[in-house]
Structure 1
């Protein structure tokens, strides 16, 4: 390896690591960062508890994730304002994994997923998320919201969830198994929390409705002795870290679930960082470094018994809107949560599970605004179909399948649209007209000539009759792939075999090398049949027709040159 390559590699590694530049604005923004961090921590506490319980990992695991992963991602991630921790999308993926493989698989899945995300960042795959279309993103967000809401139905009616069941089936089964009127107490708790969360922002936008709602119903439940299930005992501090042990027989069965978790962690974190960059003035984010930070966060979380983490869009938005401008805000958020665990574990354990269900139900309802749904559905029929299809597959199958199918369908529809916008147009020869012009066909190719549109051009031009010369104008062609170049080559061969001379005008410089490699140039009867200007090509075509007529009529083959 040369010295230049070594220096380039060293610069690449340094760009993925923390630096003093991450905190260059700290002297100016530290007060706002602390306020934003405290606010984000207050908002994160009930969500961390709720997501931990909903995933099957437990409330303590949710708190550990918010603290450990939130701190590591804040220091090593690629966004100055991203707040990370457990999220609803991750819960949707983790719940069936824990139900199938047991709670003991959580640390292994977190470790493997973290390593995969870390590797993606080191390999510079961060910008891949930009290839996911907007309708797909909104579709799987809607699907996640539906799943999260349905997953809360068992706790909302006071019955255990059915392990491994689809969210729709589990919700229906829970309602059928509910013991009435006892279930009314749990529903009352859910309704009270939801009402407070909806009313609180109208009083003041900074009032943490979820935390206020949980405090109110917890106090009422404790004073009145309501017959509702609670979180239960929590540790008063963080557990000691330990390296997860991967048994050889479990490795193969957990590899695919870990890949699913890793894909989701990468997608959601990068989307959240992108949203944060669009609503803040803290500069762009580094997508590759963000993956490195999120990978390290999930690895650290797994070592402490937590869940895989992702960037959290809602908490990140709260951070930005309350003044967060540097990484200090996300660090303060994690430190505040750690203090809450140390000082208030007993109080937290008294929170009714139904209260957490209320928080998540309202959170799910807010995940995708009605205005966004109307916008997507009102855009184009293709985008609306991708949006609805992605949401349905998310709910009925899983997130990763939904994203893959959504991207594939969106790509197919986009290619079809591009193919339809491509054209092969026959044009009149430039004035003044000359005798024999009817023996010359001038075609203009425009748009994209690729595998989705090339065959149409072949059929159109190959159907020509009663012409001696065909001029193919390629100067307006925006996209040419190997299939398109091969079709042009086949077309030239077919016309030449019929005695029709083909002239090619205006191959763009960016297409010339491909045209040469595939054989477009070599397929011409003479290299002089390649032109840069239309007048020269037309005059050459007319001279062919004149020579053919002088040689004895239309049946004579035009001379070369």
Structure 2
């Protein structure tokens, strides 16, 4: 731990502290309205988001894998957290968050940080865009000030609620929301230093308090007064039945949290030219999410927008994360009673803008225009996120992506019969020179390309066995372009070798790459084939095969598959007898 801190703060100076102080204060101010908004949208009290922001900011400063990462509640979590609250309740949300933290911690310990980044882009774009739609539409009721609304877990029911209660539109709420929205959109053009979300929140709240008090729903009237102190430490009531019920939701939180955190760290790397430690980041996020529920907080992850803001404002070290957390704590202690008067309509535009920014609409349209199988995966993931839930969307998206990947790998696999091309000065083997009139009856030479795995092994076996049934004396497999061999491919290779030996034939292999060679060694197939039958160069394998020919069968043969064929075909009977 001490060594990690020394690495992170080596060469630290007063000038660096000044930069961290500026960045930390600005990000802390931005994080306050976002933390409350994300909590409300997730179906829990606004202060829980504040608690999460404080604890995550402190812990990630010491245990995270990125120097500039800002962690806390994010919009990506809203649909899954709201679904858990609706289905299992707030207390079980805390348990799911704790279990997700354990999973992330274990992933980091097992050094699985790089594996999370293997999730296909169409899947992440699909569920991110779907989440954006759910967040945006979920704020329509607050934007319009609709009354009598009951929140449901599924998208269609929530849409129906909005339509049924459109007659209850509150023009005061709409006015407040518009002031907030215009402020958020205009502030980046007027000043890059003042956060639009905070300005919109303050201006619209003052407008409501001065011009039409008690005309709009507020945080206090909906959720009660916000406490100005941190909650006491409370251990969740864990038992095997509860754990078994919450494992699936916890896994989705862990995967989503891991993906968001590592994406945010990658963004930070790109902006600063640094390199994060993905496994340490997972460990840090895991510890954070194990501690946050003990104080009533909701799950946290790396926040891309806040991390980028942190960097743009000159952050020099993880100390900026700690400062941002302390700023949020100070505001909570001093101004919590005032926050209770914030109208819900003031917060709705904040989440709508967050949803718009996270929608990745340009990438979505780009993938859609490609009209490939990736487009299909993205659309299905997108629709399932909206109309079913995020858990099902990710599972189905990954399954479809895996199936399509296997199909693509199978399509690139090729097994072709080849012979030397005499018109080429290097006499490279080619497929087109194999014809009905030029094909050696005793030596079959094949080029195998692409991974030899379960998705392609059956085609490989079918192609080769059709030749084996003709009982060639020697079968040569050129495998220099086979980067990967799994146990299914090994099984079929073993079967081919066995069938050849049954009728006195011999299998020769040339150009084996390291991974297939290791598989043959581990399974003992290299001994069955014979290490002497494994060649580096195809030319050496062909020379060995020609020395094993039944010369009697070569006499008079007009196929002339190899250079030596003319000589062997012209041998007189006595020389044939001598050769035998």
Normalised by the shorter chain, which TM-score bucket? 0.7 to 0.9
Q: Equivalent residue for 1:79?
A: 66
Match of residue 195, structure 1, among 166, 176, 182: 182
Q: Equivalent residue for 2:487?
A: 482
Contact 1:415 1:452 in 2 (8 A): yes
1:559 Cα shift? 14
- Root-mean-square deviation (Å): 3.1
1:438 Cα shift? 2.9
* SS of match in other structure, 1:207: coil
Contact 1:60 1:234 in 2 (8 A): no
Deviations 1:407-463 (A, max 9, x none): 222222222222211221222236499x99632332111221111112212222222
Corresponding position: 1:316 with 2:307:
yes
* SS of match in other structure, 1:459: helix
Match of residue 360, structure 1, among 344, 347, 351: 351
Relative to structure 1, the CA distance from residue 112 to residue 517 in structure 2 (aligned partners, 3 Å threshold; closer, same or farther) is closer
1:57-72 → structure 2 map (5 Å cutoff): 57-72=44-59
Relative to structure 1, the CA distance from residue 67 to residue 436 in structure 2 (aligned partners, 3 Å threshold; closer, same or farther) is closer
Contact 2:30 2:197 in 1 (8 A): yes
Relative to structure 1, the CA distance from residue 234 to residue 26 in structure 2 (aligned partners, 3 Å threshold; closer, same or farther) is farther
Relative to structure 1, the CA distance from residue 393 to residue 26 in structure 2 (aligned partners, 3 Å threshold; closer, same or farther) is farther
Deviations 1:148-183 (A, max 9, x none): 112212322323553443133213312312334x43
TM-score normalized by structure 2?
A: 0.84
Relative to structure 1, the CA distance from residue 213 to residue 117 in structure 2 (aligned partners, 3 Å threshold; closer, same or farther) is same
Higher deviation after alignment, 340-349 or 373-382: 373-382
In structure 2, C-alpha distance between the alignment counterparts of 1:299 and 1:508, rounded to whole Å: 44
Q: Equivalent residue for 1:228?
A: 216
In structure 2, C-alpha distance between the alignment counterparts of 1:118 and 1:559, rounded to whole Å: 74
Q: Equivalent residue for 1:305?
A: 296
Q: Equivalent residue for 2:564?
A: none
Q: Equivalent residue for 1:238?
A: 229
Q: Equivalent residue for 1:140?
A: 127
Contact 1:92 1:144 in 2 (8 A): yes
In structure 1, C-alpha distance between the alignment counterparts of 2:5 and 2:174, rounded to whole Å: 50
Matched positions, count: 540
In structure 2, C-alpha distance between the alignment counterparts of 1:516 and 1:43, rounded to whole Å: 59
1:53 Cα shift? 1.2
Contact 1:155 1:161 in 2 (8 A): no
Q: Equivalent residue for 2:460?
A: 457
Corresponding position: 1:536 with 2:523:
no
1:474 Cα shift? 1.8
Contact 2:86 2:153 in 1 (8 A): no
Relative to structure 1, the CA distance from residue 461 to residue 260 in structure 2 (aligned partners, 3 Å threshold; closer, same or farther) is closer
In structure 1, C-alpha distance between the alignment counterparts of 2:161 and 2:579, rounded to whole Å: 81
Contact 1:390 1:403 in 2 (8 A): yes
In structure 1, C-alpha distance between the alignment counterparts of 2:578 and 2:508, rounded to whole Å: 13
Match of residue 263, structure 1, among 255, 259, 282: 255
Contact 2:116 2:255 in 1 (8 A): no
Q: Equivalent residue for 1:9?
A: none
1:231 Cα shift? 0.9
* SS of match in other structure, 2:483: strand
Match of residue 194, structure 2, among 203, 207, 215: 207
In structure 1, C-alpha distance between the alignment counterparts of 2:126 and 2:76, rounded to whole Å: 13
1:262 Cα shift? 3.1
Q: Equivalent residue for 2:162?
A: 174
Contact 1:25 1:326 in 2 (8 A): no
In structure 2, C-alpha distance between the alignment counterparts of 1:23 and 1:370, rounded to whole Å: 39
Contact 1:150 1:168 in 2 (8 A): no
Contact 1:236 1:343 in 2 (8 A): no
Relative to structure 1, the CA distance from residue 325 to residue 384 in structure 2 (aligned partners, 3 Å threshold; closer, same or farther) is farther
Relative to structure 1, the CA distance from residue 457 to residue 49 in structure 2 (aligned partners, 3 Å threshold; closer, same or farther) is same
Q: Equivalent residue for 1:23?
A: 9
Q: Equivalent residue for 1:3?
A: none
For structure 1, list consecutive stretches of 5 or more residues without a partner in the other structure.
Answer: 1-13
Q: Equivalent residue for 1:8?
A: none
Q: Equivalent residue for 1:438?
A: 440
Corresponding position: 1:422 with 2:408:
no
In structure 2, C-alpha distance between the alignment counterparts of 1:537 and 1:263, rounded to whole Å: 49
Contact 1:425 1:445 in 2 (8 A): yes
In structure 1, C-alpha distance between the alignment counterparts of 2:179 and 2:154, rounded to whole Å: 27
* SS of match in other structure, 2:447: strand
Q: Equivalent residue for 2:382?
A: 391
Relative to structure 1, the CA distance from residue 480 to residue 250 in structure 2 (aligned partners, 3 Å threshold; closer, same or farther) is closer
TM-score normalized by structure 1?
A: 0.87
Relative to structure 1, the CA distance from residue 441 to residue 339 in structure 2 (aligned partners, 3 Å threshold; closer, same or farther) is same
In structure 2, C-alpha distance between the alignment counterparts of 1:507 and 1:548, rounded to whole Å: 32
In structure 1, C-alpha distance between the alignment counterparts of 2:579 and 2:309, rounded to whole Å: 74
1:282-361 → structure 2 map (5 Å cutoff): 283-361=274-352
Deviations 1:251-287 (A, max 9, x none): 5444443343333333322222222222223x22222
1:379 Cα shift? 4.6
In structure 2, C-alpha distance between the alignment counterparts of 1:319 and 1:120, rounded to whole Å: 27
Contact 1:436 1:542 in 2 (8 A): no
Corresponding position: 1:272 with 2:264:
yes
Contact 1:190 1:358 in 2 (8 A): yes
Contact 1:192 1:213 in 2 (8 A): yes
Corresponding position: 1:505 with 2:510:
yes
Q: Equivalent residue for 2:37?
A: 50
